[in-house]
Amino acid sequence: MTDHRADHRADHRFGGGDDHADLLDAARTAIVDRCRRMADDGLTLGTSGNISVRMGDRIAITPSGVPYPELTPEQICVIDLEGRTVGPGPVPSSEAPMHTAIYAATDAGAVVHTHPLYATAVSTLVDELPPIHYMIAELGGRVPVAPYATYGTPQLAAHAVAALATGSAVLHANHGATTIGPDLAKAYDRAVLLEWLCRLWHQAQLAGTPRLLPPEEIARVGELLRGYGQPRT
Rounded distance, CA 16 to CA 170, Å?
Answer: 35
Q: Among the options 95, 128, 138, 223, which is catalytic?
A: 95
> In the 8-state DSSP scheme, what is residue 51?
E
Say if residue 209 is exposed, middle or buried (CB neighbours under 10 Å; 0-12, 13-18, 19+).
exposed
β-bridge mates for residue 60, sequence order: 53, 78
Of 218, 42, 190, give the one whose Cα is nearest residue 130: 218
What is the distance of C-alpha 67 from the center of its chain? 19
Count Cα neighbours of 167 within 13 Å in the Cβ-side half-sphere.
25
Count CA atoms closer than 13 A to 138's CA, side-chain side. 17
- Decide if 95 is catalytic: yes
- Residue pair 164/140 in contact by the 8 Å Cβ criterion: no
Residues, the chain = 233
Q: Which residues are catalytic?
A: 95
